[in-house]
Structure 1
Amino acid sequence: MSQHGVGPRAVMRSVAFLTAGVLAVPALAGCGSEDPSGKPLAGQDIQPAPRDRITDGGTLRWAVDSVPDTLNTFQSDADATTTRVAQAVLPSMFRMDASGRPERNPDYLESAKVVDTEPKQVVLYKLNQQAVWSDGREIGAADFAAQWRALSGKDTAYWTARNAGYDRIQKIERGDDALEVRVTFSRPYADWRSLFSPLYPKDVMGTPDSFNDGARKKLKVTAGPFTVKKTDREDGEITLARNPRWWGEPAKLSEIVLRTVPRDKRAAELAAGSLDLAEIDPSAARRITVAARPRASGSPLMGPGADRSAADSLESWAVANGSDEDAADEETVARKKLRKTTVRYARQQQALGGFEVRKSLEPAYTQLALNGAEGPLTDERVRRAVARALDRKELAQVVLGPLGLPAVPVGSHLALSGQAAYADNSGALGDQDTKEAQALLADAGWVRGGPVKEEKKKEKAAGPEGGAADDTGEDDKAQHGPDPAGHLAQDGRQYKAPHQGGAPGAYAPKGTAAPANQEAAPLAKNGKPLTLRFVLPSGPGSQTLRTVADRISRMLERVGIGTEISKVSDESYFKDHIASGQYDLALYSWPATAFPATDARPVYAKPVPAADGSLNVEQNYTRVGTDQVDQLFDEAVATLDEGESRSLLRKADSRIWAAAGSIPLFQRPQLMAARKNLVNTGAFGFGTPVYEDMGFLKKGAKPASGPSAKGSPTR
């Protein structure tokens, strides 16, 4: 989620009054109550090991989706690889712990705290006296001030994607010595820990030209355990090298090579020995899991020909040895090709035995989005009926159960279990209830089996009315994206909502359409059936999404709601459909954040008319918002009492649930294939990777607690 400044302090602690009546908001935990934030549903799986057991040197080859267009994380076209590079080479005053909460980074900060609140909020940073940039210059107030000026929003020559928090700073000055930085805010800002992470040198932030272009392809000055050695866009690689000026624990690895490898090629690249670490899909995870088992364990058959029965094999032999010479020749060629493919697959499986799957849950959740701007979903009762028709536990089980991960539905829009702001507020809407969903639809005037007026429809090659669109995409125009395998998630930060910069952090799961519903007696109103347009990306390799969409369609069918599946190209999904509001239902994901008062504000802000008459939705792609939710966000970001801020956020989340614009479903799985002797890396969950501790075990050494150990390394 991108960051966004918010308005004045104002809030009323009352229940939400909605167009369909009054909903009671569940009581929230107060002083003395048990902390509702709970614990992370799944811990890190990084094969922890003490540093003295790790080889000094070596190269880690890590698969990424692409070489980023920019190395500046504050630009709208930054992506996940941009963030990964920044974490390894730049200062961050705070980083995320295993529960997704910010913690001071001692390599850069001796301390950081609010030292004054009246008349202004003042934060005093005391820097680590050893902290220096790679050119030898000390990190100091000049770098903080340059970043503030670049991101404050006052100078439009800077092409920034966000300025939240920085727009609340009044001044930055040196403290009593060069190691102290005093930041004075013009307005109270609860999420001050989100600032200056990462911190770029004044060489990058000092002028619009250096900000806009200087850090796009290279970073000359850095201050982390690694430096950027080379960026090769032709070969699709970024090479990070050990920083000789790094003052902290020296990096164990000599280099980290981030290699662009399509998702469908990663299993083969791992088997070929050209990768050590890669995020993978469930099918590749199954291959690696099976390859790691002893042969005597009765592993299931996989790979080419695994689905052929004895009868199929006998028939093939008969044809190859039959009297029809043409058929025999053709079958003989096919059998040779299958044998060759099978041998290659077997060799890959043998090589994959040197890897293991490390799994956790991503700090992100998948949701069903309901467009409340037009059509039947403008009626809150219909949105709530859709939500009450869903069995979220079943959907979570479908995705996470087969992977051995906790299949627990997400209970908050603003945080995930274990994070400080988390509480299960789904009770503001209610669990699955078919009768209640049907009652809401009846109250909204939708009658099962009601008369439906005949309408002339444009003929399309996509198939019959109510069926799935053609595989080429919506309206026969969409085409597959450049990655033939597809991704488990598509990063939507490159797309722009009306009158807003990028939408950093939005993930759109790739996939294809679910089968169309076949309602015997659909609901109707004013001569029109209740059919919702369910828009999904068309990229292949997303069986998980297809299954989820199919289950949702069936659940809606039970209460009389039809779905018309529309598959669109991955490239146009956000730009042409989600951001522009051309959908009724859609599946996409948001990352969790340690600073929801700041980061979630634009995602749930009430859309307002823009000067040109269009609607400014910021990142609220569902177009559903209320003044009360905005007020609660404003209050939460302006109070420095952390307990009060969390309480306000939980109230806001209850009202977001009640409005039923988006329905959180499940936390996304995180599957990483890692070489077995690679330690302190893998599925990080919430935590920020510690790059200097990554490496390969010394010969004969063992990790901290065996091959399946989880958690952080012993340092």
Structure 2
Amino acid sequence: MAVAVALVLAGCAGGAQPGVAAPHGTQDINPRDPATLRDGGTLRLPLDNLPVNYNYNQTDGHEDQTHDVLWALMPRAFDESPDGGVTLNTDLLEAADLISSNPQVVRYRINPKAVWSTGRPITWEDFAAQVRANDGSDPTYQFSDKTGYVDIWRVGPGATSKEVVVTFRKPFAEWRGRLFNGLYPEEFNADPALFNAGWTQRPEVTAGPFRVESIDQTAKTITLVRNEGWWGARPRLEKIVWTVTERTALADRLANNEIDAYEIGSSTDLFERARAIPGVAVRRAIPKQYYHVTFNGAPGAILADRALRQAIARGIDRAAIAQRLVGRIVGPPTLMGNHIYPIGSTGYRDNSGGFGFDPAAAQRELDALGWLRPSPGAVRVKDGRPLRLRFVVPSANPISEQVGKIVLDQLARLGVEVVIDAVPTARFFVDFVNVGNFDLTAFQWVNTGSPFSDAAGLYQEPRDSDIGGNFGRIHDPAISAKFAAGVGELDDAKRTELGNEIDKLIWDEVHHIPLFPQTGAWAVRDTLANFGARGLADPDYARTGFTP
């Protein structure tokens, strides 16, 4: 999973009404046959900041906005689809087949027309170099994640240089969604210095429907134009321009015809402003991101006791939080009922059953645990220690702050004191979340089409500073064992069953409490087609364009 702080949030038939979600697992993008769209035009989009590294596989480059820019530029083996699964990207690959299960062997057949912007054909050697750079064997590479790559034993050619044969040391089930997304050229991956810092100013070698025309560090713009050497379907757009824009200025810039779309997220102001702009549609589909509350259950922490975490969880009214924060945008909100699969995916089931809002049960459980109120309305105490929880939030994040304040009010009724600690946003993860300096905290997780390999690190056993994404340091060996089994289970149906077994264990462990999916709302110029609320899917800039 990727993490998102989201400061303001932070297909099917189109045209969803404001406040009404598109059906789960679908999109609201004004779908049109690209052949019917205008040939040309410039798509103008906002960015929070310019990428600090255009290598998405490097630690500093592994973030959502960089991903969105690179999707117009770099090749990848598979795309994430609206149902939460993955589909073969035929611009790069003609086929990708599992040809042996023991040992696991996958054969990729590269599109014969696929070439880098230098004119060099994309070959098996690009795949081999990508594995060497990301498999953890060379510590000089500052890679973001070795998952999947570390399980590869050998990469070699098939019958031609356009055929890749990948042999695994042990089974890796999510090879389709996890590996070679995106693919970088051999000459780049072969040099650790280039891998780490060679693309901090701009992407140097690309292979997508667009290419870089310019990146202006002063104006803070990225301009892409059609790639004349592109072998796939011709893009409808002539240009895409991203400009760094303050979130408070998004609605004004859209109204002034300076940008063509912006993500509304959880901002009711951006939502209401969008509805008032002529020629602008609000499009919405449930996305991959969801908001949650993380518990710190590290040894010695006040919430190290699972039974206490369970009692606290039953005292939190998730529906009230969701209604307060996103109800004006989405109508009656849908609660997130699964830690692993996003709403709308084929694997999703709501496993939250035993952890609905039940303040009476929470009161009884707290009493049974010895956390007693010395007098009516007082804070509960056990062995002279008050039941006081420190809720850490980033100071510039109004959504996290609102979640904290609502939880404060709800738990106060149970005799649990919550203290809001707003910390500098730039230090939120480094000095607080990463090191376990909190009792409760809130931010977003982003689900992916590779839930086992991407989510396992959230629940891994903490070992000194190696915690993966397990910021609360809550570990159940049974959960890790099932993740290990799922990562190696090549049968999709069996793997989904394992995923939901794991999710039930996570709910019982109260590792974190999923609250609600992000709104998925976008404000989009109504003449823009195949763009907007893409739900669980990746963007497709080659199909995006304007109606005549």
Q: Into which bin does the TM-score normalised by the smaller protein fall?
A: over 0.9
1:638 aligns with 2:492: no
In 2, the alpha carbon distance for the partners of 1:72 and 1:175 equals 28
Pick aligned residue for 2:311 from 381, 385, 391: 385
Give yes or no for contact 1:40–1:417 (8 Å, CA) kept in 2.
Answer: no
1:560 aligns with 2:544: no
Kindly provide the amino acid, as one letter, of the partner of residue 488 in structure 2: A
User: Which residue number in structure 1 is paired with residue 468 of structure 2?
Assistant: 618
Q: Deviations over 1:134-193 (max 9, x none)?
A: 222221101000101111110112111211111111111111123311100011101111
In 2, the alpha carbon distance for the partners of 1:571 and 1:212 equals 22
Give yes or no for contact 2:73–2:210 (8 Å, CA) kept in 1.
Answer: yes
CA 1:42–1:550: 2 relative to 1, 3 Å: farther
Give yes or no for contact 1:96–1:686 (8 Å, CA) kept in 2.
Answer: yes
User: Which residue number in structure 2 is paired with residue 366 of structure 1?
Assistant: 291
Kindly provide the amino acid, as one letter, of the partner of residue 379 in structure 1: D
TM-score, scaled relative to structure 2:
0.92
User: Which residue number in structure 1 is paired with residue 15 of structure 2?
Assistant: none
Q: Could you say what secondary structure the match of 1:219 adopts?
A: coil
In 2, the alpha carbon distance for the partners of 1:557 and 1:90 equals 51
In 2, the alpha carbon distance for the partners of 1:396 and 1:173 equals 50
Q: Could you say what secondary structure the match of 2:355 adopts?
A: coil
Q: Deviations over 1:258-296 (max 9, x none)?
A: 11001001112222221112223320220221x2xxxxx
User: Which residue number in structure 2 is paired with residue 168 of structure 1?
Assistant: 151
Q: Could you say what secondary structure the match of 1:170 adopts?
A: strand
In 2, the alpha carbon distance for the partners of 1:123 and 1:101 equals 19
Structure 1 residue 405: Cα displacement? 5.0
1:149 aligns with 2:132: yes
Pick aligned residue for 2:57 from 70, 74, 78: 74
In 2, the alpha carbon distance for the partners of 1:167 and 1:556 equals 44
Q: Could you say what secondary structure the match of 2:285 adopts?
A: strand
Q: Deviations over 1:478-508 (max 9, x none)?
A: xxxxxxxxxxxxxxxxxxxxxxxxxxxxxxx
In 2, the alpha carbon distance for the partners of 1:579 and 1:405 equals 35
Kindly provide the amino acid, as one letter, of the partner of residue 320 in structure 2: E
User: Which residue number in structure 2 is paired with residue 87 of structure 1?
Assistant: 71
In 2, the alpha carbon distance for the partners of 1:192 and 1:616 equals 24
User: Which residue number in structure 1 is paired with residue 444 of structure 2?
Assistant: 589
Give yes or no for contact 2:330–2:519 (8 Å, CA) kept in 1.
Answer: no
User: Which residue number in structure 2 is paired with residue 505 of structure 1?
Assistant: none
Structure 1 residue 447: Cα displacement? 0.7
Q: Could you say what secondary structure the match of 1:88 adopts?
A: coil
Give yes or no for contact 2:77–2:93 (8 Å, CA) kept in 1.
Answer: yes
User: Which residue number in structure 2 is paired with residue 574 of structure 1?
Assistant: 429
Give yes or no for contact 1:90–1:198 (8 Å, CA) kept in 2.
Answer: yes
1:401 aligns with 2:258: no
User: Which residue number in structure 1 is paired with residue 27 of structure 2?
Assistant: 44
Q: Could you say what secondary structure the match of 2:97 adopts?
A: strand
In 1, the alpha carbon distance for the partners of 2:39 and 2:461 equals 54
In 1, the alpha carbon distance for the partners of 2:512 and 2:416 equals 17
Give yes or no for contact 1:109–1:128 (8 Å, CA) kept in 2.
Answer: yes
Q: Within 5 Å, which residues of 2 pair with 1:418-429?
A: 418-427=344-353, 429=354
Q: Within 5 Å, which residues of 2 pair with 1:140-289?
A: 140-193=123-176, 194-280=178-264, 281-289=267-275
In 1, the alpha carbon distance for the partners of 2:344 and 2:370 equals 42
Q: Deviations over 1:531-579 (max 9, x none)?
A: 1111112116x2x444433322222122221111111111111111111
In 2, the alpha carbon distance for the partners of 1:174 and 1:240 equals 33
Pick aligned residue for 2:462 from 603, 607, 610: 607
Kindly provide the amino acid, as one letter, of the partner of residue 32 in structure 2: A
Give yes or no for contact 1:40–1:416 (8 Å, CA) kept in 2.
Answer: no
User: Which residue number in structure 2 is paired with residue 24 of structure 1?
Assistant: none
Give yes or no for contact 1:204–1:215 (8 Å, CA) kept in 2.
Answer: no
Q: Deviations over 1:307-352 (max 9, x none)?
A: xxxxxxxxxxxxxxxxxxxxxxxxxxxxxxxxxxxxxxxxxxxxx3
Kindly provide the amino acid, as one letter, of the partner of residue 564 in structure 1: V
Give yes or no for contact 1:114–1:121 (8 Å, CA) kept in 2.
Answer: yes
Structure 1 residue 523: Cα displacement? 0.9
Structure 1 residue 246: Cα displacement? 0.9
Kindly provide the amino acid, as one letter, of the partner of residue 393 in structure 2: L
Give yes or no for contact 2:25–2:536 (8 Å, CA) kept in 1.
Answer: no
Kindly provide the amino acid, as one letter, of the partner of residue 377 in structure 1: L
Give yes or no for contact 1:2–1:162 (8 Å, CA) kept in 2.
Answer: no
1:102 aligns with 2:28: no
Pick aligned residue for 1:525 from 377, 382, 403: 382
User: Which residue number in structure 2 is paired with residue 534 of structure 1?
Assistant: 391
In 1, the alpha carbon distance for the partners of 2:440 and 2:162 equals 52
Kindly provide the amino acid, as one letter, of the partner of residue 328 in structure 2: P
In 1, the alpha carbon distance for the partners of 2:164 and 2:446 equals 31
Q: What RMSD in Å do the two structures reach over aligned CA positions?
A: 1.8
Give yes or no for contact 1:282–1:671 (8 Å, CA) kept in 2.
Answer: no
User: Which residue number in structure 1 is paired with residue 513 of structure 2?
Assistant: 663
TM-score, scaled relative to structure 1:
0.71
The answer for unaligned runs of 5 or more in structure 1 is 4-38, 292-351, 451-518, 699-715
The answer for unaligned runs of 5 or more in structure 2 is 4-21
In 2, the alpha carbon distance for the partners of 1:561 and 1:116 equals 56
Q: Could you say what secondary structure the match of 1:361 adopts?
A: coil
In 2, the alpha carbon distance for the partners of 1:407 and 1:355 equals 23
| Aligned residue pairs, count | 525
User: Which residue number in structure 1 is paired with residue 504 of structure 2?
Assistant: 654
In 1, the alpha carbon distance for the partners of 2:54 and 2:344 equals 31
Kindly provide the amino acid, as one letter, of the partner of residue 272 in structure 2: R
Pick aligned residue for 2:114 from 131, 134, 146: 131
Kindly provide the amino acid, as one letter, of the partner of residue 104 in structure 1: L
In 1, the alpha carbon distance for the partners of 2:171 and 2:461 equals 22
Q: Deviations over 1:589-639 (max 9, x none)?
A: 11011112111111111223x3xxxx5322101111111111111110012
Kindly provide the amino acid, as one letter, of the partner of residue 456 in structure 2: R
In 2, the alpha carbon distance for the partners of 1:674 and 1:362 equals 16
In 2, the alpha carbon distance for the partners of 1:693 and 1:628 equals 45
Kindly provide the amino acid, as one letter, of the partner of residue 327 in structure 2: G
Q: Could you say what secondary structure the match of 1:655 adopts?
A: helix
Kindly provide the amino acid, as one letter, of the partner of residue 371 in structure 1: N
Kindly provide the amino acid, as one letter, of the partner of residue 440 in structure 1: E
Pick aligned residue for 2:278 from 333, 350, 353: 353
In 2, the alpha carbon distance for the partners of 1:400 and 1:605 equals 32
CA 1:430–1:2: 2 relative to 1, 3 Å: closer
In 2, the alpha carbon distance for the partners of 1:269 and 1:212 equals 35
Structure 1 residue 687: Cα displacement? 1.0
CA 1:41–1:554: 2 relative to 1, 3 Å: farther
Give yes or no for contact 2:403–2:442 (8 Å, CA) kept in 1.
Answer: no
In 2, the alpha carbon distance for the partners of 1:161 and 1:690 equals 24
In 2, the alpha carbon distance for the partners of 1:417 and 1:670 equals 12
User: Which residue number in structure 2 is paired with residue 708 of structure 1?
Assistant: none
In 2, the alpha carbon distance for the partners of 1:264 and 1:370 equals 31
In 2, the alpha carbon distance for the partners of 1:156 and 1:444 equals 47
